[in-house]
A and B are shown apart, each in its own frame.
Chain A
Amino acid sequence: MLESYIRNRLKEKEILLMTHIVLGYPSFEDSFRIIEAMVNAGVDLMELQIPFSEPMADGAVILHANQKSLSKGSTVKKCLEFSGEVIKNFDIPFLFMSYYNILYKYGVEGFAEEMSNIGIKGAIVPDLPPEEGEDYINAMQKYNLSPIYIFSPTTPYERMKYLASYGKGLIYCVARKGVTGAETQFSNQLDDYLSQCRKATDLPLALGFGVKNKGDIDFLKGKADIAVIGSETIRLIDSDGVGVVGDFIKSLGIS
């Protein structure tokens, strides 16, 4: 299971690294090369984002990647097939990240079944709070998949406990207000927030939004279990190309 995988890895490493890509960006061939470089450089788990035309919670970098991928003809079917290939080739857990409409239009139960068939371990659906997600939660349970819930700095403690009661695998802690890809201050305030998160759940904590270098990750050691890098690798690919991904991941010093 996802949680036990994370716990086992944490016996060997102080902090794990989760990375994120938008499927089909810049192309599916590139997506494959990026994943290969990331896994070889020691990434512990990965989020594969299925592009959506209205990615409300994402900032400019990931938004553009969604749009580019779609304009090049990415479909949900293609994303599922591609992910199945990826999972056959690389031996780390992969999660889906997408918006609820993608699951809803596919059919929530059928989508969960397909995730299970191809070997995806869990999903992050940022616009689906548990109140709206009964079908999703049931389907994920049926196929033994981890629905991953999000804590934010505006989430009251009681609600954290409520969210954690539906969550499996890990909790994704958003470092700050705002969308993905903006600047985050790694400060004592973040310490307080993370210790609050820790108190609210026994699940491993991943921290994302604004994590972009070794300094940020070192700061998180002992506070979070997983550091999440999202927009930063896309930004890097946009400026320097797919070839630099491996070295960038290695520079984070997590393997």
Chain B
Amino acid sequence: MKKTSPVQYLPLTHTTFYILISLTTPLHGYGIMQKVEEMSKGEVKLGPGTLYGALSKLEKQKIIAKTQEDGERRKCYILTELGKQVVKLEWSRLQNLVEVSRKKVESIEVEE
């Protein structure tokens, strides 16, 4: 069994990143959708196919986990330790990208 390092999951897509940062507290599927829509100010609306696909894949990758098994029809998810590392790393990557490109981008003049 190969060891999973958080780096191998980077970069994350826009959608995946939003889903992960919504899962710092336990949420069920519909809760994730609402949270993501709210955080992105309505820009990111998750379709159910996308959400289900993301949840089942992220759970398989052990980036997220169900908080409790059985019973409830709506399962709640939360970031795992690996998931937390993935989010942190992705965030540093994005931040770094912004930092190193700042001067260049600011020097670009766009004609009106």
Do A and B pair up? The answer is: no
B-side interface residues toward A, CB under 8 Å? none
Interface residues of A (CB under 8 A from B): none
